[in-house]
Amino acid sequence: STTFENPESIRCSLRMCIEFRHSMAIVRRLRVGARAPFFRAMACPSSRARSSDARQAVVRRSRVLGIETSCDDTGVAVVDASGKILGQVLVTQRDVHAGYGGVMPRAAEQAHCNALGKAVDEALEQAQVKASELDAVAVTVGPGLALCLAVGVRQARAIAAANRLPIVPVHHMEAHALIARCEDASGDAKPDFPFLALLVSGGHNLMMLARGIGEYQQIGTTIDDALGEAYDKVARMLGLPVGGGGGPALEALALEGDPKKYKFSRPLQKRKNCDVSYAGLKTAVRLCIEAELKGSPPSEENRKVRADIAASFQRVAVDHLAERTQRAATWGKEIDPNIKHMVVAGGVASNQVVRTSLKAVAREAGFEFCCPPPKFCTDNGVMVAWAGLERFQLGLHDAPPELESITEDEWVDVRPRWPLGERHPRVGEDTVSRGMKKKRLFPPLTGVAHAS
């Protein structure tokens, strides 16, 4: 049978060597670029769906490999159509970035290159399937760090070409939204469409109406810093370890503090919409740290002060998110009375204070609360495999790449800045998207589907 093997030594910044064993070895060098043909699979389900009988046959037997390399975690998983996780591997880069105070793209790229081939082999071994026995390969193509995304796309294309498998491009935030629908990764309940989704991560705060695969309408977003980004920056200012993200360290320190010690103002009190903002709160915390610590380095003597600041920041930050989510829930029910579930996902959803607060909001609004276990809130291969499987079942995939096309001249399409949905008319002008052209954003996923 055709197999795939990743070499032990890879120089990612210059090239990736891929060995195919099928009577001969083929080694190519790939480069990163930005062409669009890879995204034919983003069309609307109605324009790409197969016949009902054929689709049902696919549903019964589908097994999809998912690859996630959008930032600083290498995730690989195999999931079947019932939502069973057959195999999963997650390789963190916490130690790689610990000394930088944040994620270093080149270091992350190299770490993905070193880990990905072995992770794929291990996930397939856990699943007890060969690559040639899969039905498709799904891979995150955006948003994220371009260098890191390209590592996963190259690997996915190589596996798909070597084994003649369809390839499914996946939006990272859609994968977060859909993970709650996977049987083995769901929490207490699995949502049906339509549902309200709140996606909170290091770079995103999105409140969405999810109407179907690839069909999302935005009713709230961040106008500056996302909550996860604010957690990371405040953690860094407090002298906490931020390798792999400062959120968990700040959450742990806040448990020791008084959340009412410092009276930080809640952001955007005069704006009665669902958008969030954390830049002003972050600045207020910085000024407080400067006034209270007076430049002193972190120590046991000032730990209580730092804990009080952390707890006070977290209280206001989460209260702000809960208030905007409460309004989003009200608007969601008015826009579509058929909404019954609220999905909360993304890395910050692993924070217990955030989960508890938003669960109360969902209960008050009459929604069933759906939040994956913490290990499935952070980036992982399972969410990509499941999102890819949902798309694959609707025929939303590309044909297997030709081995001959994987050449030195091939461009790999990645989308570092890629919105998930379009702004709902109810919420007015999108203050974020006015600078869209300057920021080189790709058209939203929903917009791509409609255009197709």
Q: Are 447 and 433 in contact (CB under 8 A)?
A: no
Q: State the pLDDT at residue 101.
A: 72
Q: Rounded to whole angstroms, how far apart are CA atoms 278 and 120? A: 38
- At 54-92, the pLDDT tens digits run 445 445 579 999 999 999 999 999 999 999 999 999 999
**ω into 194 cis (within 30 of 0):** yes
CA angle centred on 175, ends 169 and 181, rounded to 5°: 125
- At 308-352, the pLDDT tens digits run 999 999 999 999 999 999 999 999 999 999 999 999 999 999 999
Q: Rounded to whole angstroms, how far apart are CA atoms 293 and 341? A: 44
* Least-confidence region, from 224-233, 337-346, 391-400, 403-412: 403-412
Q: Rounded to whole angstroms, how far apart are CA atoms 227 and 116? A: 29
Task: Taking residues 156-180, report their average pLDDT.
Answer: 96
Handedness of CA 359, 360, 361, 363 (dihedral sign): positive
Q: Are 286 and 442 in contact (CB under 8 A)?
A: no
Q: Are 346 and 374 in contact (CB under 8 A)?
A: no
Put simply, whether the predicted model's pTM sits higher than 0.75 gets the answer yes
Sort strands 341-345 and 195-200 into parallel, antiparallel or unpaired.
parallel
Q: State the pLDDT at residue 17.
A: 38
Q: State the pLDDT at residue 36.
A: 38
* Least-confidence region, from 20-24, 71-75, 379-383, 395-399: 20-24
Q: Rounded to whole angstroms, how far apart are CA atoms 58 and 64? A: 11
Q: State the pLDDT at residue 56.
A: 52
Q: Are 12 and 107 in contact (CB under 8 A)?
A: no
Residue 102, burial from CB neighbour count under 10 angstroms (0-12, 13-18, 19+): middle
Q: State the pLDDT at residue 441.
A: 74
Q: How confident is the model at residue 198 (pLDDT cuts 50, 70, 90)?
A: very high
Q: State the pLDDT at residue 408.
A: 54
Q: How confident is the model at residue 429 (pLDDT cuts 50, 70, 90)?
A: low
Task: Taking residues 362-386, report their average pLDDT.
Answer: 96
* Average pLDDT over the chain, rounded to an integer: 85
Q: What region, left, alpha or beta, does residue 94 occupy, with left being phi > 0 and alpha being psi -120 to 50 degrees?
A: alpha
Residue 162, burial from CB neighbour count under 10 angstroms (0-12, 13-18, 19+): buried
Q: State the pLDDT at residue 113.
A: 95
